[in-house]
Amino acid sequence: MPLDTPVWTAVIPLRAGSKGLPGKNVRPLAGRPLYRHALDQALAAGASRVLITTDLPEVLDAALPPEVVCVRRPPELAGDTVPMAPVLVHALQQAGVQGTVVLLQATSPLRTPADIRAAVDLFATGANGLVMSVTEADRGVLKWGRLEGSRFVPLSSPEHCFANRQSLPPVVRPNGAVYVFDAARLIATGSLAADSVGVVGMPPERSHDIDNLNDFEQAERLLARPALEHP
């Protein structure tokens, strides 16, 4: 490995209790369990280690590559209302992970190794406390607001509420596919939030997230396209 190549650990969180699509993390997608797409992408992108945090017996007992380590997730961290940060802190501490960490959620199987490498390379510049993948969103959200009693409070500039949609600035949203951060900072703060967040853009067709059966079937159709073949 070249000396200037970043060394990093991928973390893949898998939970058994999916309500939208039970068993989705191990459900076969394009010939492989869903979680294997994230695992294979991490290795293809250059991860030195892959850490899976899970309560799924079929994953804990699976025959996995030597670079892959499984951490058994305790029941108190496996509920559907548990935030991601404490799950990550537990896994990183249990496995003794230090340095750069890349969070890869199994429900975003259409990312590519190149997407991951781009985020890792941007984080390696040291300019950001967090790097995440984003995709273009409807700029019309700049017209929205929240309510304080019966009072409308704009989410952004008040002028945006009355502007033509075409004149509004571009908007992006996190797509959940890639997050890059430092292990020590997350453990110390207990939060992924950072003062400076760098972004790596991904097109909508690779930003697909799986929550239910329709999402899963659409991901299968998208993966069948030659341009989205994965390692």
Question: How does pLDDT run across 124-172, given as a tens digit for each residue?
Answer: 999 999 999 999 999 999 999 999 999 999 999 999 999 998 899 999 9
Number of other CB atoms surrounding residue 83 within 10 Å: 11
Q: How far apart are CA 72 and CA 84, in angstroms?
A: 15
- Name the band, by pLDDT with cuts 50, 70 and 90, for residue 226: low
Q: Is the pLDDT of residue 64 over 50?
A: yes
Q: Within the chain, what is the greatest distance between any pair of CA atoms?
A: 60
Instruction: Classify residue 165 by burial, with Cβ atoms within 10 Å: 0-12, 13-18, 19+.
Output: exposed
The string of DSSP letters for 26-68 reads: GSEETTEEHHHHHHHHHHHHT-SEEEEEE--HHHHTS---TTE
226 vs 227: which has the higher pLDDT: 226
User: Any idea what DSSP says for residue 73?
Assistant: P
Task: Give residue 230's pLDDT.
Answer: 46
What is the tens place of the pLDDT at every residue in 164-220? Answer: 988 999 999 999 999 999 999 999 999 999 999 999 999 999 999 999 999 999 999
Q: Could you name the CATH architecture of 8-135+172-224? A: Alpha-Beta Complex (3.90)
pTM for the model stands at: 0.91
The pair of structure tokens assigned to 182 is: 């430092």
User: Any idea where the domains of the chain sit in the sequence?
Assistant: 8-135+172-224
* Residue 230 amino acid letter: H
Which residues have C-beta within 8 Å of that of residue 129, sequence separation ≥ 6?
A: 181, 182, 185, 194, 195, 196, 197
Confidence tier at 5 by pLDDT (50, 70, 90) = confident
